[in-house]
Amino acid sequence: MSVEILIWAIYLIILIPFFYLAMAALSFAPWVPCWKKDLGRIFKLAGLQKGEVFYDLGCGNGRTVFYAAKHYNARAIGVELALPLYLWCKLRHLFYINRGVTIKWKNLFKEDLSRADVVYFFGLPKSIKNKLKKKLERELKPGARVVSYAFTIPDWDIVVKDKPREKDTPVYLYKI
């Protein structure tokens, strides 16, 4: 009897993280972290200023959130649905000195973005077109900047496309 319980416990320990990662991927996009070398390009485009509110929708391991807080002294908020990635961010946050970081375990479509000065995301084209675009149009204040990593927002005018070399991932800037 105890062997069966142990086997089920092992299955649950293995399957639960995959379930949450799958939920996040189906909701918006799979976790694809931005390259460290792209952080400078992302934030240069964003024009993030001290004290501004920065959102990373689907923050994954929190790389951009912690970068925004550390290098720009911004109020950085990461929203993540996948429990394993959220827990990883919370663990990193425990050891992080700058307290301008908030990590939320939440569906990004339920987060109020009306205070955002800059919104950053990596999303799949279908999710951007069918869900996120409408949310951004509805909630963002005039002057807010939107930075998309890799994919465009359909029917929006691109202010800047940054792709210095052919092999670089494109980064797009939009202004509301």
Confidence of residue 26 (pLDDT cuts 50, 70, 90): low
Please state the φ and ψ torsions of residue 88, each to the nearest 5 degrees: -60, -45
The token duo for 125 is 């084209």
pLDDT at 16: 55
Predicted confidence at residue 136, as pLDDT, reads 97
Q: Identify residue 114 by its one-letter amino acid code.
A: S
Higher pLDDT, 93 or 43: 43
**pLDDT for the residue 165:** 92
Q: Which domains does the chain have, with CATH numbers?
A: 2-175 (3.40.50.150)
Contact 118, 52 (CB under 8 A): yes
pLDDT at position 27 over 90:
no
Backbone φ and ψ for 155, nearest 5 degrees, come out as 70, 10
pLDDT digits (tens, 9 = 90+) for 59-114: 999 999 999 999 999 999 999 988 888 999 999 988 887 778 999 999 999 999 99
